[in-house]
Amino acid sequence: MTNVQLLKIAEEFGSPVYVYDAEKISNQYNRLTGAFKNVKNLKINYAVKALSNISILKFFNKLGSGIDTVSIQEVNLGLAAGFLPEQIIFTPNGVSLTEIEQAAKLGVQINIDNLSILEQFGTKHPKTPVCIRINPHVMAGGNANISVGHIDSKFGISIHQIPHLLRIVENTKMTINGIHMHTGSDILDIDVFLYASEILFETAKQFKNLDFVDFGSGFKVPYKDGDIETNIEELGKKLSKKFNSFCKAYGKELTLAFEPGKFLVSESGSFLTKVNTVKQTTSTVFAQVDSGFNHLIRPMLYGSHHDIKNISNPNGRERFYTVVGYICETDTFGNNRRINEINDGDILSFKNAGAYCFSMASNYNSRYRPAEVLWYNNKAHLIRKRETFDDILKNQVEINFSEKKETSLVK
């Protein structure tokens, strides 16, 4: 999208506002399916938690994608967006048996990552096929908070517990129809990923009724110029080959599944904020925008980098700014960034604002959550209204403290 288009959106819908480019989403989707074109049955399940607006989900439905969900609410959101239960996989962690049963009742594919839950579920519902999430203990994350494959991670069933798992399957007579891993975000080294895939294939051999093998996600996208990203095309070539020969040995054309969030939506998003004031201190020039970690928490939560551009003055002289928010806590979006000269009222655009941005927004400081706009077919579509004061009060219950105290309830 061009700066002019983004500026017009900020003008029309106000700031701050999230803008998503539908074309970028479909390009990423097609890139992924293209990389695995040699696999006969490929299934992409978009990870809803990255960006869960219902219009985004409908767009993925239109593309032919399925969805990956982590809560019963996401399952219901997917159903509301028009996905069929069989297009939905439920991959929760640490939820109750009841929630898993609710999802199973709706007919979605269950993915279990806990032996105790597996045994309870299998005992009660031996006829419902279940996918199992394996932890291959491969360290593949880019940040300690987002690498979930290592030995002390809470995710998945350890490969060292497979004998126990097989006993549960045998005793309950349940069916395991899928095998899954999700090693963590930011996979840069394809060989690490392929190594983990070997472990998954080895494990898969021990289950006779599989329909699919799910490699989760963790594809890295570029955050700044010169950033390396997961080479999807190379991964596609190498993993397809391994997968096809695994299917041959297994004796069945299985489905190869992925569930990316970030890869599909991160780069589609721009977060537009307005500069309230430029504040010069003795050491720093701060640009203070009409937002904070209530709207975009990733930089503060796990140090993620979002490029910041001054789209109001793209040809201005570059200077160094520390871009901060208006929250009454330290909320630094970017330290000492080289940005085209900023003046009060300028619109700053934060890049890579598609994944884990709006979906992590809150009402902290009693601020409204921003509007969301989808740029589709050369037109801006409002897909979420900015909140209003009613939303802030909606579920709050007021006590009337001036009411006379009842002296006795018993008459």
Ligand X SMILES: *Cc1c(COP(=O)(O)O)cnc(C)c1O
Verify whether residue 328 is a known catalytic residue: yes
* Cβ count near 330 (within 10 Å): 10
Stretch that binds ligand X, among 259-267, 297-305, 313-321, 335-343 (CB under 6 A): 259-267
CA–CA distance, 7 with 182 (Å, rounded to integer): 38
Shortest Å distance, C-beta 32 to ligand X = 11
Strands 371-376 and 379-384: antiparallel
Mark 84-113 with x for binding to ligand X (rule: CB under 6 A) and - for no binding.
Answer: -------x----------------------
Binds ligand X (CB under 6 A): choice among 141, 216, 334, 370:
216
Shortest Å distance, C-beta 332 to ligand X = 24
Residues numbered 168 to 197 that lie near ligand X (CB under 6 A) are 182, 185
Q: Does 32 bind ligand X (CB under 6 A)?
A: no
CA–CA distance, 339 with 337 (Å, rounded to integer): 6
Q: Please enumerate in sequence order all residues whose Cβ is within 8 A of that of 337, keeping only pairs 6 or more positions apart, or say none.
A: 308, 320, 321, 322, 323
Q: Which residue type is seen at 372?
A: E
The residue whose two tokens read 């097989």 is 166
Q: Does 16 bind ligand X (CB under 6 A)?
A: no
Binds ligand X (CB under 6 A): choice among 47, 110, 348, 380:
47
Q: Please enumerate in sequence order all residues whose Cβ is within 8 A of that of 324, keeping only pairs 6 or more positions apart, or say none.
A: 286, 287, 288, 289, 292, 330, 331, 332, 333
**Residue 309: strand, helix, or coil:** strand
| CA nearest neighbour of 196 among 252, 255, 249, 156 | 156
User: Which residue number places its CB atom closest to ligand X?
Assistant: 261
Pull the structure tokens for residue 392: 């802030």
The residue whose two tokens read 């806990």 is 114
Cis, bond preceding 16 (omega within 30 deg of 0): yes
**Residue 334: strand, helix, or coil:** strand
Of 216 and 292, CB closest to ligand X: 216
Q: Does 355 bind ligand X (CB under 6 A)?
A: yes
Q: Does 260 bind ligand X (CB under 6 A)?
A: yes
Binds ligand X (CB under 6 A): choice among 16, 78, 136, 218:
218
Q: Looking at the DSSP assignment, which residues form a beta bridge with residue 45?
A: 66
Shortest Å distance, C-beta 220 to ligand X = 8
Stretch that binds ligand X, among 137-145, 258-266, 375-383, 395-403 (CB under 6 A): 258-266
Q: Looking at the DSSP assignment, which residues form a beta bridge with residue 324?
A: 288, 332
Mark 261-300 with x for binding to ligand X (rule: CB under 6 A) and - for no binding.
Answer: xxx-------------------------------------
Of 10 and 75, CB closest to ligand X: 75
CA–CA distance, 240 with 36 (Å, rounded to integer): 6
- Using CB under 6 A as the binding criterion, the count of chain residues that bind ligand X stands at 18
Cα first-last separation, the chain: 71
Shortest Å distance, C-beta 313 to ligand X = 33
Of 201 and 219, CB closest to ligand X: 219
User: What would the DSSP string read from start to end of 22-33?
Assistant: HHHHHHHHHHHH
Shortest Å distance, C-beta 80 to ligand X = 20
The answer to whether residues 263 and 106 touch, using CB atoms and an 8 Å cutoff, is no
Of 71 and 244, CB closest to ligand X: 71
Q: Does 49 bind ligand X (CB under 6 A)?
A: yes
Of 24 and 367, CB closest to ligand X: 24
Binds ligand X (CB under 6 A): choice among 65, 177, 197, 217:
217
**Which residues in this chain contact ligand X in the complex, by CB under 6 A?**
47, 49-50, 68, 70, 91, 182, 185, 216-219, 259-263, 355
